[in-house]
Amino acid sequence: MHITWYGHAAFLIETDGVRVILDPYRSPDSGGYLPIGEPADIVVVSHENDRYHSHLGQIVPPFDLVRGLEAPPGGTEVRGLRFEFERVFETPERKAEDEVTIVHFRAEGLHLVFLGDLGHALTADEVAPLRGADVVLAAAGGPPTIDFPEIPPLLAAIGPRLIFPMHYKTPKINLNIQPVERFLDVLPEDPVDRPGRSDYEVTRASLPDRRRIVVLDHAR
């Protein structure tokens, strides 16, 4: 499984011969991130926010589109991958208008969880489908996504071996969020890898024995 971070919450996951793009932003309206401008087999959007999470106009067609908020219970299968969604909220108040989804799927013997714009702690029932995931793509910039004191117990409950921070302050985003260092501060026991590139190869055999954080450079 090959993971590339474009910037903000946008990733390319290449697995089983399929290119999956998660939560594409709109450039330049999201700040300074450049357009993704690449093809995809599948585009998955965790919720509807054309500026930051669901812009399709800068992905090279054709592609299959999966919208998390429209997915049926049990998820949906596209090109041999089954995407599942947990309905959560962007804010602790859990207002209907703040509904978003957590996206997760399994491929190559790995379970990947994309937390999207999750903005609150999860109940035991909400975390159960995510428990034991190998890879978590986690919002790391604080409110309006999940606040920093809630991050350690959430990750402990899920139990990933690799964490990829996203959705944090860089010179290329125009949101009032925090830099990745604030996220790292609340996880002081976790080793941090900074490979100095925007992509990372993960296999079942290469998973670390203990949890690690991988801070990628943005590709755009």
What's the pLDDT tens digit per position in 105-144? 999 999 999 999 999 999 999 999 999 999 999 999 999 9
Is the CB of residue 56 less than 8 Å from the CB of residue 43? yes
In this structure, whether the domain defined by 2-214 belongs to CATH 3.60.15.10 is answered with: yes
pLDDT of residue 2: 98
Residue 79, C-beta contacts closer than 8 angstroms, at least 6 positions apart = 18, 41, 42, 64
d(CA 213, CA 104): 19
Residue type present at position 93? E
Report pLDDT for 50: 97
- Tell me if 48 sits within 8 A of 27, measured CB to CB: no
Radius of gyration of the chain (CA): 16
User: How high is the pLDDT of residue 57?
Assistant: 97
What is the pLDDT at residue 174? 96
Residue 2 backbone phi and psi in degrees, to 5: -110, 125
pLDDT of amino acid 39: 98
Q: What 3-state DSSP class applies to 167?
A: coil
- What stretches in the chain show pLDDT beneath 50? none
In the chain, domain spans: 2-214
Q: How far apart are CA 98 and CA 91, in angstroms?
A: 7
pLDDT (tens digit per residue) in 138-158: 999 999 999 999 999 999 999
Q: Are 8 and 208 in contact (CB under 8 A)?
A: no
Q: Give 118: exposed, middle or buried? Use CB within 10 Å, 0-12, 13-18, 19+.
A: buried
